[in-house]
Structures are given as C-alpha cells and as structure tokens.
A = this chain, B = another copy of it.
Amino acid sequence: MTEVRIIGGALPNIPWEEKPEGHVKPLWRHSSNPVIKRNPAKDIARIFNSAVAPYEGRYIGVFRTETDTTRPHLRLGHSQDGLDWKIEESPIQFQDEAGNPYQPRYAYDPRLVKVEDTYYIIWCTDFYGAAIGVAKTQDFKTFTALENPFLPFNRNGVLFPRKINGNFVMLSRPSDSGHTPFGDVFLSESPDFVYWGKHRHVMSKGGEGWWQNVKIGGGPAPIETSEGWLMFYHGVTGTCNGFVYSMGAVILDLEEPSKVKYRSRNFVLTPEEWYEERGFVPNVVFPCATLQDADTGRIAIYYGAADTYVGVAYTTVQDIVQYVKDTHEEVADDAGIGRL
C-alpha cells in the first residue's frame, strides 16, 4: 500500500503509547484505562461518551456528566496531556442567539468539532423527544445554542471538520422515541448551519457479521486522510440480556462522503475489559472523539465505556486504514439505492 497520510495539523503532544509487543488487533488500549473513573469529582457520579479537542497547546473537553440525579448534562474539562482531566464545577451555560440564557432539559453524547475558527458542540437534546442539538463557541466562555438542524427523532450528530463543496456536512442517525431497535447513518448538508438538506443515506446496519446488525451510529468527527474520510463508529447487536456496543471503522469518499469506499466487516474494538463489561450499561464501547497527529499518523480515540467511564485507545492511520481495506465488505444498502 502507498503511504497513508492524515491530512491535517501536527499534534506532537498527542496522548500516546506504542503498540504492545505481539499485539495483533488494529487498536490497543491505554495501559491505565479508564482515564476517567467513577465519582471523578464532587457531585459527579459518572462521566462517559465525551469529546475532546486540542485548544491553545493543551486539551479541552465537553463531557457527558451525570450527577446522582442520573440526568445527563454537559460540562467542560481541561487537561495538559489529554489523560488527566480537571472537570469544571458547573454545567456549561448556553445562551440562545438573542443572548438569553438557554439550557437544554437534558444533553448527552456530545461531539466537539472545530470548523474554520469555530468550535461546534453537537449533542442529543430534548425536542419533544431525542433530537440533535448544536451550539458554537470560539472561546469556551460563551456558548450559543443554534437552531436544531433536524426534526426529531435523531441521535449521534457528527459534524465533518471542514466544509465540503462549500457546505457544512453532518452525519446523524434517525431514531425513534425510545431505545431504538434499528438505525442507519445518514448525511445532510447546510450552507449556513440554519437550513439543512441534500440528505443522503451513507451506510446501513447489517453486513455479514452480527456485531452491527441492530443499529449503527457515527462516532468521532471523521479524520481526513489521503485514502478518504476515516470514521470510527459504533455498531450494536442484541442479546437476550440487552444491547452490546462495539466500535467499527469505515472510509468514506473525500468529496462525496455519502459514498462508502471501504468498510471493515469486523469490529475494531469490543467490550473485553472490566470497565467496558461492567457499569451502568454493561458491554458498551462508544467512541466520540479522536486526536491525531499528521506528522506521525498517531490517532488517540476517546470512548465511553459501559456508560460509566472514559477510555482511550490508540492506533496509527497506517494500521487502521490497512486493516479496514484488508477486512472490507460491501454492504448492499450502502450503494445509495433510492437516492431521492
């Protein structure tokens, strides 16, 4: 294979551990996972499914935080090294576009994506049911909630880190009003972050294996590489004792990201460790963010574990892209049938 490159900036202080000797899987876990444990700060019971980004030479994060009330909200956190996190004492305070205070009734599974000079937070919000909420900030002091991009019911809104053909591009996973037992990934475009359209189906649950046969959903913002958009996502299977969430990987076409180029038939991470198998929701790995260093090809993946912990896993762009290509399967519904 020709050399695969990350298209993007250098991040020399990316959290990193070398692949363990003899490791044969495409991802390897941080050796002292989970990096955020139970009761990580006063009044916080659990932090998981959270997003991080480089900011001013250090790291900032938007965290899914649950207090002892077990209602999720979002808090900021700060870290020098991306592993040791200090969580703020209060929830993020949003305002609406007129400058009036605005708080979502609940907020969970945030993503944090920088496009041009603005950071966007995308989360699951209450809009007469689960829907995609969005807000923007440039300084992590003022957070302006924007128009909901889509009607309910929807989850797992994921923004691409740059405009494509002049438009913002967002993935989402249309859902129902409960613990949705189905779901594919779609893509939508917007010229202005107010009005969205040109909706396309991207990829389906299913395939040969069972790990993603109930539903799938976007994860971290896709990573631009010389082979296409590398996207980690979650895939869900059902058992007699509930859902099991694994992590998958796919490569989308750079200019037409609703087209799947390569899609691994295998999960790339599945619950194995105690912090993934045990917790509020057992058997969940749920990726929400990555950091990457274009100079070395290193990728650090942040994932929620068992709806209780934050874990970190590592790979390189060379390793994961090769793995996805080697284990590629075509899934019929990914071909764009019924475009309109």
Chain A interface (Cβ within 8 Å of chain B)?
A: 96, 102, 104-105, 125-129, 133, 145, 147-154, 172, 174, 176-177, 182, 184, 186, 188-192, 194-199, 201, 204, 333, 338, 340
Given A152-B174, A176-B177, A340-B145, A128 and B195 touching (CB < 8 A)? Answer: no
Known: A150-B151, A151-B199, A195-B198. 15 other contacts (CB 8 A): A104-B338, A125-B340, A127-B199, A127-B201, A128-B186, A147-B198, A150-B150, A151-B174, A152-B174, A153-B174, A153-B176, A191-B195, A194-B197, A194-B198, A195-B196
Interface centre among A149, A182, A196, A333 (most CB of B within 10 A): A196
What distance in Å separates the Cβ of A180 from its nearest Cβ neighbour in chain B?
A: 8
What distance in Å separates the Cβ of A326 from its nearest Cβ neighbour in chain B?
A: 28
When C-beta atoms are compared, the residue in chain B nearest to A96 turns out to be B340
B174 A340 Cβ-Cβ under 8 A: no
When C-beta atoms are compared, the residue in chain B nearest to A180 turns out to be B176
Collect the chain B residues with CB atoms within 8 Å of residue A127's CB. Answer: 199, 201, 338, 340
What distance in Å separates the Cβ of A154 from its nearest Cβ neighbour in chain B?
A: 7
What distance in Å separates the Cβ of A35 from its nearest Cβ neighbour in chain B?
A: 32
Interface centre among A154, A172, A177, A186 (most CB of B within 10 A): A177
Collect the chain B residues with CB atoms within 8 Å of residue A129's CB. Answer: 174
Complex alpha-carbon distance, A199 and B188, angstroms: 15
Given A340-B96, A340-B145, A199 and B133 touching (CB < 8 A)? Answer: no
Given A177-B176, A338-B126, A340-B104, A151 and B195 touching (CB < 8 A)? Answer: no
Complex alpha-carbon distance, A148 and B200, angstroms: 9
Contact of A340 among B148, B177, B189, B204 (CB under 8 A): B148
Collect the chain B residues with CB atoms within 8 Å of residue A128's CB. Answer: 184, 186, 201, 204, 333, 338
Contact of A197 among B126, B147, B154, B333 (CB under 8 A): B147
A196 B196 Cβ-Cβ under 8 A: yes
Complex alpha-carbon distance, A102 and B72, angstroms: 45
Complex alpha-carbon distance, A127 and B258, angstroms: 14
Given A128-B201, A197-B194, A198-B194, A338 and B151 touching (CB < 8 A)? Answer: no
